[in-house]
């Protein structure tokens, strides 16, 4: 939902048709970049024109709508507002779809038909169905000009006979609702709706009102959290819609803001809702990991997934967008394995496309600190070390996984223990590079704890053997790594010759154990 695409694109459209100069959505003299209701509607309009005429009048609108990410320059709104607008649009669409169904039912194949056109909530040119297209250049009503306010007398109606208008009249109510938006908190962006003849249905008005109030409360609570706005810019409209649906379905109560913006993912904090349909309990606080759909960020991770046999068959057939979803899927499966083994890690709540919702490690919106950021007593440090040694073994033996990005950055300290996170890149040990990844993990862990003063900490080679159960005897790094690679090669050869992998490595001369 790019709000400025239309405005920005219009001047570039070249010698446009005559309507352009009069067009209320044409280049505005002000460069307000707030995402108003009118903007949302004008974007819809622009899209429709684009499709209809197949000319390039608004090329940027389409580009922005389908492009991967909204940049900082072209949006200046809060995603909650966005959500309210989406909510409104959805209400309107559902209502209109129902009207259409009723219309159809009543009309059947009768020669005389009735139309509910006037009861539609979506602005005629905001609709995406072509049958009710109205050439808006010909509408006499200027949507930006406010009508004289209509007042309803105390008795609740005006007019006579069939011209009677009650206070429940949809149009009158709608206009009043729009005017009442002025009562919302000043920071709440109501767009140009107040100045124009916008009719907000009670339903939509109430939703917006509710939103305005919670917005007020939220901003009072969190106004110092500046990072929110940047985070909200980091998700594209499709993601926002998915997030909005999670809130709308009651699965989540609110998405409060961003915890982390990484190269490949953005993590949000949310309060869990109480969706009635799920038999599983939603944790009171959730973390939402949104895998970025910017494709180039993921190129360098090909090697993890391409060679992971669990995804091998699918990899070649997939488009890049689907591969990104696979990262989320992979993280979900890996977390589930870890959960089953009893390793402290986030619990999976739900996976929706490239969005993974899990339990939040931390409290009251404050994420647990990473091991690299926390200062532990030497006693806790030692405890953490032995816990990690244990977890690495469990991960390898019970989950058949190698973390592959294990370091003090992906371990959180919470509740007096270490929690493992960030396992989208984790692989099985028999992955063509699985043992190399394990060795790297071991090096990170050893170095961290040796520097941290844990005298008992094994060195990386000892740790590698302790975790894998392999018995690589090389006493220097180069030879050690050569042996690791030899083992990996042996496995690959086996795959070539037998079409299947070893289920585990064995270096003590025993025949390898094979997967069934």
The set of catalytic residues is: 405
In the complex, least distance from residue 418 CB atom to ligand ADP, rounded to whole angstroms: 13
Instruction: Please give the full DSSP string across 299-361, using - where no structure is assigned.
Output: GGGHHHHHT-HHHHHHHTT--HHHHHHHHHHHHHHHHHHHHHHT---PPEEEEETTEEEEE-S
Q: Which of 39, 236, 308, 422 binds Mn ion (CB under 5 A)?
A: 422
Most distant pair of Cα atoms in the chain: their distance: 100
Ranges of beta strands (E only) in 128-264 are: 157-158, 165-166, 252-261
Residue 410 found at the interface with Mn ion (CB under 5 A): yes
Distances (CA, A) of 126 to 46, 122, 279: 9, 6, 38
Residue 410 found at the interface with ligand ADP (CB under 6 A): yes
Q: Which stretch binds Mn ion (CB under 5 A): 55-63, 408-416, 438-446, 491-499?
A: 408-416
The partner in contact with residue 267, picked from Mn ion, ligand ADP, none with C-beta cut-offs of 5 to 8 angstroms by kind, is: ligand ADP
Residue linked to tokens 């953490």: 384
Is residue 25 within 8 A of residue 36, CB to CB? The reply is no
Residue 239 found at the interface with ligand ADP (CB under 6 A): no
In the complex, least distance from residue 68 CB atom to ligand ADP, rounded to whole angstroms: 17
Per-residue x/- mask for ligand ADP, residues 367 to 406, rule CB under 6 A? x--x------------------------------------
Q: Which of 421, 427, 435, 454 binds ligand ADP (CB under 6 A)?
A: 421
Tokens matching residue 207: 């939703």
- Give the angle 94-95-99 at the CA atoms, nearest 5°: 115
Instruction: Please give the full DSSP string across 445-507, using - where no structure is assigned.
Output: HHHHHHHTT-TTPPPHHHHHHHHH------SSHHHHHHHHHHHHHHHHHHHHHHSS-BSS---
Residue linked to tokens 């009670």: 202
Closest by CA position to 426, among listed 448, 446, 400: 400
Using the minimum distance from each CB to ligand ADP, give the nearer residue, 64 or 361: 361
Q: How many CB atoms sit inside 10 A of residue 402's CB? A: 30
Residue 289 found at the interface with ligand ADP (CB under 6 A): yes
The partner in contact with residue 367, picked from Mn ion, ligand ADP, none with C-beta cut-offs of 5 to 8 angstroms by kind, is: ligand ADP
Pairing relationship of beta strands 165-166 and 362-363 according to DSSP bridges: unpaired
DSSP code of residue 39? H
Using the minimum distance from each CB to ligand ADP, give the nearer residue, 252 or 421: 421
The partner in contact with residue 260, picked from Mn ion, ligand ADP, none with C-beta cut-offs of 5 to 8 angstroms by kind, is: ligand ADP
The number of residues that bind ligand ADP (CB under 6 A) is 18
Residue 422 found at the interface with ligand ADP (CB under 6 A): yes
Residues 6+ away with beta carbon under 8 Å from 498: 514
In the complex, least distance from residue 290 CB atom to Mn ion, rounded to whole angstroms: 14
Residue 426 found at the interface with Mn ion (CB under 5 A): no
Using the minimum distance from each CB to Mn ion, give the nearer residue, 40 or 371: 371
Using the minimum distance from each CB to Mn ion, give the nearer residue, 308 or 405: 405
The partner in contact with residue 351, picked from ligand ADP, Mn ion, none with C-beta cut-offs of 5 to 8 angstroms by kind, is: none
In the complex, least distance from residue 450 CB atom to ligand ADP, rounded to whole angstroms: 23
Q: Which of 346, 429, 432, 434 binds ligand ADP (CB under 6 A)?
A: 346
The partner in contact with residue 287, picked from Mn ion, ligand ADP, none with C-beta cut-offs of 5 to 8 angstroms by kind, is: ligand ADP
Is residue 435 within 8 A of residue 398, CB to CB? The reply is no
The partner in contact with residue 361, picked from Mn ion, ligand ADP, none with C-beta cut-offs of 5 to 8 angstroms by kind, is: ligand ADP
Tokens matching residue 27: 């280049």
The partner in contact with residue 370, picked from Mn ion, ligand ADP, none with C-beta cut-offs of 5 to 8 angstroms by kind, is: ligand ADP
Tokens matching residue 81: 């507002």
Q: Which stretch binds Mn ion (CB under 5 A): 171-179, 298-306, 336-344, 405-413?
A: 405-413
Using the minimum distance from each CB to Mn ion, give the nearer residue, 208 or 421: 421
Tokens matching residue 123: 């602005």
Closest by CA position to 485, among listed 426, 439, 436: 436
In the complex, least distance from residue 3 CB atom to ligand ADP, rounded to whole angstroms: 28
Give me the residue whose beta carbon is nearest to ligand ADP.
262
Using the minimum distance from each CB to ligand ADP, give the nearer residue, 190 or 361: 361
Residue 262 found at the interface with ligand ADP (CB under 6 A): yes
In the complex, least distance from residue 358 CB atom to ligand ADP, rounded to whole angstroms: 5
- Check the CA dihedral 488-494-495-497 and report its sign: positive
Using the minimum distance from each CB to Mn ion, give the nearer residue, 359 or 410: 410
Tokens matching residue 325: 């979803």
Is residue 268 within 8 A of residue 259, CB to CB? The reply is yes
Is residue 123 within 8 A of residue 174, CB to CB? The reply is no
Using the minimum distance from each CB to ligand ADP, give the nearer residue, 85 or 359: 359
The binding site for ligand ADP (CB under 6 A) comprises: 259-260, 262, 264-265, 267, 287, 289, 346, 358, 360-362, 367, 370, 410, 421-422
Contact positions toward Mn ion, by CB under 5 A?
Answer: 410, 422
């Amino acid at each position: 939902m790019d709000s400025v695409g239309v405005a920005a694109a219009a001047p570039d459209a070249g010698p446009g048709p005559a309507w352009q100069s009069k067009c209320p959505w044409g280049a505005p003299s002000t460069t307000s970049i707030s995402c108003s209701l009118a903007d949302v509607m004008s974007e819809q309009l622009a899209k429709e024109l684009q499709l209809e005429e197949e000319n390039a009048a608004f090329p940027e609108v389409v580009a922005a709508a389908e492009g991967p990410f909204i940049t900082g320059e072209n949006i200046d709104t809060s995603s909650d507002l966005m959500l309210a607008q989406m909510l409104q649009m959805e209400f309107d669409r559902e209502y209109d779809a129902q009207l259409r169904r009723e219309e159809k039912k009543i009309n059947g194949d009768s020669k005389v038909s009735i139309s509910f056109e006037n009861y539609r909530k979506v602005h005629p040119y905001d609709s995406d169905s072509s049958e009710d297209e109205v050439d808006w250049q010909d509408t006499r009503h200027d949507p930006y000009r406010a009508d004289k306010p209509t007042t309803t007398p105390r008795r609740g109606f005006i007019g006579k006979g069939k011209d009677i208008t009650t206070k429940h009249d949809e149009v009158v109510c709608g206009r009043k609702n729009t005017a009442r938006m002025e009562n919302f908190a000043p920071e709440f962006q109501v767009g140009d709706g107040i100045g124009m003849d916008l009719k907000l249905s009670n339903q939509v008005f109430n939703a917006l009102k509710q939103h305005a109030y919670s917005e007020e409360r939220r901003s009072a609570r969190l106004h110092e959290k500046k990072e929110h706005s940047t985070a909200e810019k980091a998700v594209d409209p499709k993601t926002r819609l998915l997030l909005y649906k999670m809130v709308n379905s009651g699965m989540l109560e609110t998405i409060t803001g961003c915890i982390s913006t990484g190269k490949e993912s953005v993590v949000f904090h949310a309060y869990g809702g109480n969706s009635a349909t799920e038999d599983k309990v939603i944790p009171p606080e959730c973390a939402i990991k949104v895998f970025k759909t910017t494709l180039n960020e993921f190129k360098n991770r090909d090697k993890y997934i391409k060679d992971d046999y669990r995804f091998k068959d699918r990899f070649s057939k997939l488009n890049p967008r689907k591969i990104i979803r696979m990262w989320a899927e992979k993280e979900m499966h890996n977390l589930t394995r870890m959960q089953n083994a009893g390793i402290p890690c986030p619990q999976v709540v739900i996976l929706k496309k490239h969005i993974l919702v899990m339990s939040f490690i931390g409290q009251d919106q404050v994420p647990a600190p990473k091991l690299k950021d926390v200062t532990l007593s030497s006693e806790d440090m030692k405890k953490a070390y032995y816990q990690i040694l244990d977890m690495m073994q469990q991960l390898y033996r019970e989950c058949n996984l190698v973390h592959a990005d294990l370091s003090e950055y992906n371990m959180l300290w919470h509740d007096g223990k270490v929690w493992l996170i960030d396992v989208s890149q984790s692989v099985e040990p028999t992955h063509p590079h699985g043992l190399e990844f394990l060795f790297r993990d071991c090096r990170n862990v050893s170095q961290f704890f040796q520097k941290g003063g844990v005298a008992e900490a094994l060195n990386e080679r000892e740790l590698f053997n302790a975790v894998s159960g392999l018995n690589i005897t090389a006493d220097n790094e180069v030879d050690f790594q050569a042996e690791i690679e030899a083992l990996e090669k042996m496995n690959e050869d086996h795959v070539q010759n037998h079409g299947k992998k070893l289920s585990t490595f064995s270096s003590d001369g025993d025949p390898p154990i094979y997967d069934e």
